[in-house]
Homo-oligomer: A and B are copies of this chain.
Amino acid sequence: MVTIGDVATRAGVSRSTVSYALSGKRPLTEEVRRRVAVAIDELGYTPNAGARALATSQTKVLGLLAEFLPDEFAPAMMQYFLGVTETARTFGYDVLLISEPDGPAALHRVLASRMVDGVVLLNVAEHDDRLGVLRDTGRPGALVGLPADPDGVDVFDLDFPETGRAMVAHLGELGHREIVLVSQPEHVVQRGGAYVRRLRDAALDEADRRGITLHAAFGPADQTQVGSFLHHLLDAHPGATGVLLNNEAAAAALPAVLDARSASVPDVLSVVGRWSADFARYFSLPYSFVESAPDRLGEMAVRQLVRRIEQEEAAAEPHVVRLLPPVLVDRGSTGAPRG
């Protein structure tokens, strides 16, 4: 392995000079700079990351904590990965992917061993055990998902309450008086997915304010069951003229269900959901939806994280909670109610 010493010898300078040539932290003669560059090139030198980390206590690596939950729609997580890794790379960071079931332990391990300069936590629950670990170490962290107590961390998430309101308001203004909401299953909520409840509560409130009847249900996340669930739900509320979706599996299953019922959209039923553009693409969903913007959230989280890591003044700034306002992508799946 070629080290900085080899480069120094070849260029006829000291090791420290090579280091300065690399970092530019001290002025050097053009001549020396050139000789070092040539030596590096000829020897094919790349600094040893471990040694550098030891000396600078900076690894240029970010931790990405994700949990693969069997009942959640795994592909959705991919979009976060993309936003995080791409943004990290533009700032010169690599990403350590951590998917252990025991999140707190894994987090402690990578932070305490100084493998990473900061972490992005995905899928943050209402009361997330990882937060305690993160606060104890005092290292910077950015969350995707709003916990009950966001103290000491930066939070990025979709504004779920506003999303719920916007969806109800959208149908309400078209004249709908009775609609249905399909949320993620109960166990997602219990696991800490408070966003499900936040959207639901806001939707119920907005419906109430507008005098709209809103039937709020928790649908299964299992693709094999969600179809019949939707049938039953629609059977149970024959007067409903609109469907709101906050459940990916239900969204994927809806086209077949409506087709089987010969319920055309938007003539018979108006449909609005909450998912990502990529999700809509993969499943060819022809419905209007509020973009959940996973790639954008991942990018924002990393940007802020890097700021905190690299800029001393930023480290002292108050922590932010940034909730993206809902943006409706219109696919023409809503209209005036039938009859």
Question: Which residues of A36-58 are within 8 A (CB) of B?
Answer: 44, 46-54, 57
> Which residues of the partner chain B approach A54 to less than 8 Å between Cβ atoms?
48, 50-51, 54
A290 shortest CB reach to chain B, Å: 21
A54 smallest CB distance to B (angstroms): 4
Chain B CB within 8 A of A110 CB: yes
Known: A115-B94, A282-B73. A82 touches B61 (CB 8 A): no
- A interface SS class: helix
Q: Are B64 and A97 in contact (CB under 8 A)?
A: yes
| A68 on the B face (CB < 8 A) | yes
Interface presence of A112 (CB below 8 A): yes
- For residue A64, which residues in chain B have a CB less than 8 angstroms away from its CB? 97
- A59 contacts the other chain (CB 8 A): yes
**Does residue A22 face the partner (Cβ distance < 8 Å to B)?**
no
A108 — which chain B residues lie within 8 A by C-beta? 46
Least Cβ distance of A4 to chain B in Å?
12
With contacts A50-B114, A259-B259 known, what are 11 further pairs, Cβ within 8 A?
Answer: A46-B112, A49-B53, A49-B59, A50-B51, A74-B78, A74-B79, A74-B278, A74-B282, A78-B78, A95-B98, A224-B284
